[in-house]
Amino acid sequence: MTDTTTPAASANAPADASAKAWSGRFSEPVSELVKRYTASVSFDQRMAAQDIRGSLAHARMLARQGIIGTQDLVDIERGMAQIAGEIERGEFAWSLDDEDVHLNIEKRLTALVGDAGKRLHTGRSRNDQVATDIRLWLRDAIDRILGLIAEFQSRLLEVAETHAGTPLPGFTHLQVAQPVTFGHHLMAYFEMSRRDAERFADCRKRVNRLPLGSAALAGTSYPIDREFVASELGFDEVCYNSLDAVSDRDFAIEFCAASALLMTHLSRLSEELILWMSPRVGFIDLADRFCTGSSIMPQKKNPDVPELVRGKTGRVNGSLVALLTLMKGQPLAYNKDNQEDKEPLFDTADTVIDTLRIYADMIGGIRVKAEAMRGALSQGYATATDLADYLVKKGLPFRDAHEAVALAVRAAEVKGCDLPQFTLDELRIAMAHVPGAAERLGEDVFGVLTVEGSLASRKHIGGTAPEQVRAAVARARIGLGLGQG
């Protein structure tokens, strides 16, 4: 009976020499459970294209520097082209035995081209390789997200422009506050998305730096040319400390933070869509393709898509916390903990991309029920502030004006009407207890008590006057490079 666990046996017979890149050092293979537990190939194979790109740039650099031969480079390029084709066609045999995307590809390369494949890893470690792959992958994801934000924004602008003059109650504490336009309300979300785009673009700058050349942690003794690799891969610069380059994932955390904020904004908008679509409010209707029915209640039309956006914001927030927690206790330099960075990162990018794609379509297709919006405006004394401002402009101190209008609102409640429905005399009587108020009221007060008058008067930059909303849309279009529309 052969006991392969004894030191004597292991010294002569490495346990699994054909399967593991480091098996020379070990006396026994890992168990199936440990193999599965430590492997990342099931999820990091998503970075195969980036892994191949990074390897090709590294190989070209090695050949230019005379570290490998030119024939080696030719062989590596040929092998990688075949591997890329195999992966694309779904023919590549991913193996758990080879742990991750990097070892799987390297092993296949060696099987295809022999020694040249074994030379590829010269002056490199999986530590700087994986950091490079993630950055390449994330850069592509950010570019995609930036394009999708712009698409969402241009749809949002179309609806905002159409409804630049459509009155809607503006709320604070979810109580009717003052009239705004629906276009102005939507433009608030445009501003949020503009900052979201800025955050992703800014994060991209820090993603776009090259870790390769840092090797395991200390750099390498080969005469490498990192600037060449950086420019081959489109990186703006190299990472300037090898320990930092292989270990920190702050760029991924930043991406998740930017994603969490974007999702938070879309979650707020979703909450509004859900509320607005409730029959009790009835401000909008969503196209049927974003809703589902109920299996038991035949009358139901549920806003599933916005509800899911709101729900998925939770998982994106969770991924941010997962990455922060992953990082906080790690000593320099690379630790295997970092392998856990990928699933939250991929899931975040997938969620953001799908959410933006669906939102662009959904927001363009909402049906606005302008009558219901206006109806709600006539129920909350929305122009009360305008009445107070009117009295102030006629010389009454603001606190007195506030008191006078509060009395008018109480009288309107008793009468069961809105402020514009009072006659001038009724208004004067309602304010009689505040000295100086009643005599300042004139027929012109009805100009400010109307919704249109209230909206039109807020005509400064950033205000809700329809002309300002149109100006905001025009500015936004120029910012997006869409011209004057």
Question: Phi/psi of residue 302, each to 5°?
Answer: -100, 135
Cα angle 29, 35, 38 (rounded to 5 degrees) comes to 125
Residue 65 Cβ vs ligand ARG, minimum distance, rounded to whole Å: 24
Q: In angstroms, rounded to a whole number, what is the distance separating the alpha carbons of residues 214 and 188?
A: 45
Residue 25 Cβ vs ligand ARG, minimum distance, rounded to whole Å: 13
Residue 67 Cβ vs ligand ARG, minimum distance, rounded to whole Å: 22
HSE, side-chain direction, 13 A CA sphere, residue 157: 25
SS3 state at 21:
coil
Q: Is 317 in the site for ligand ARG (CB under 6 A)?
A: no
Question: Closest CB to ligand ARG among 50 and 127?
Answer: 127
Full DSSP string of 187-216: HHHHHHHHHHHHHHHHHHHHHSEE-TT-TT
Q: In angstroms, rounded to a whole number, what is the distance separating the alpha carbons of residues 297 and 262?
A: 34
Q: How many CB atoms are closer than 10 A to CB 448?
A: 21
What residue type is 279 in one-letter code? P
Residue 152 Cβ vs ligand ARG, minimum distance, rounded to whole Å: 32
Question: Closest CB to ligand ARG among 44 and 232?
Answer: 44
HSE, side-chain direction, 13 A CA sphere, residue 451: 24
Q: Tell the residue number behind the tokens 């700058």, with chain if given.
A: 205
Q: Are 432 and 410 in contact (CB under 8 A)?
A: no
Q: In angstroms, rounded to a whole number, what is the distance separating the alpha carbons of residues 214 and 128?
A: 6
Q: Is 214 in the site for ligand ARG (CB under 6 A)?
A: no
Q: Is 242 in the site for ligand ARG (CB under 6 A)?
A: no
SS3 state at 322:
helix
Taking CB under 6 A as the criterion, the residue among 336, 395, 414, 460 binding ligand ARG is 336
Q: Is 127 in the site for ligand ARG (CB under 6 A)?
A: yes
Q: Is 249 in the site for ligand ARG (CB under 6 A)?
A: no
Return the range that interacts with ligand ARG (CB under 6 A); candidates 4-12, 14-22, 123-131, 220-228: 123-131
Q: How many CB atoms are closer than 10 A to CB 427?
A: 24
Q: Is 40 in the site for ligand ARG (CB under 6 A)?
A: yes
193 is catalytic: no
Q: Which of 31, 173, 295, 460 is catalytic?
A: 173
Residue 39 Cβ vs ligand ARG, minimum distance, rounded to whole Å: 8
Q: How many CB atoms are closer than 10 A to CB 158?
A: 16
Q: Are 252 and 346 in contact (CB under 8 A)?
A: no
Q: Is 104 in the site for ligand ARG (CB under 6 A)?
A: no
Q: In angstroms, rounded to a whole number, what is the distance separating the alpha carbons of residues 164 and 187?
A: 9
Taking CB under 6 A as the criterion, the residue among 126, 185, 226, 477 binding ligand ARG is 126
Tokens of 305: 């898509």
- Binders of ligand ARG in range 64-103 (CB under 6 A): 100
Question: Closest CB to ligand ARG among 137 and 334?
Answer: 334
Q: Are 183 and 466 in contact (CB under 8 A)?
A: yes
Return the range that interacts with ligand ARG (CB under 6 A); candidates 51-59, 192-200, 334-342, 354-362: 334-342
Q: Is 132 in the site for ligand ARG (CB under 6 A)?
A: no
Cis peptide before 404 (omega within 30 of 0): no
Return the range that interacts with ligand ARG (CB under 6 A); candidates 124-132, 201-209, 311-319, 385-393: 124-132
Q: Is 338 in the site for ligand ARG (CB under 6 A)?
A: yes
265 is catalytic: no
Question: Closest CB to ligand ARG among 40 and 193?
Answer: 40
Q: Is 106 in the site for ligand ARG (CB under 6 A)?
A: no
Return the range that interacts with ligand ARG (CB under 6 A); candidates 56-64, 271-279, 333-341, 462-470: 333-341
Buried b / exposed e over 336-359, threshold 16 CB at 10 Å, is: eebbebbebbbbbbebbbebbebb
Q: Are 94 and 80 in contact (CB under 8 A)?
A: no
Residue 55 Cβ vs ligand ARG, minimum distance, rounded to whole Å: 14
Q: Is 327 in the site for ligand ARG (CB under 6 A)?
A: no
Return the range that interacts with ligand ARG (CB under 6 A); candidates 26-34, 320-328, 336-344, 437-445: 336-344
Tokens of 341: 């960075």
Residue 50 Cβ vs ligand ARG, minimum distance, rounded to whole Å: 13
Return the range that interacts with ligand ARG (CB under 6 A); candidates 180-188, 270-278, 330-338, 442-450: 330-338
Residues involved in catalysis: 173, 294
Residue numbers at the binding site for ligand ARG (CB under 6 A) = 40, 44, 100, 126-127, 130, 334, 336, 338-339
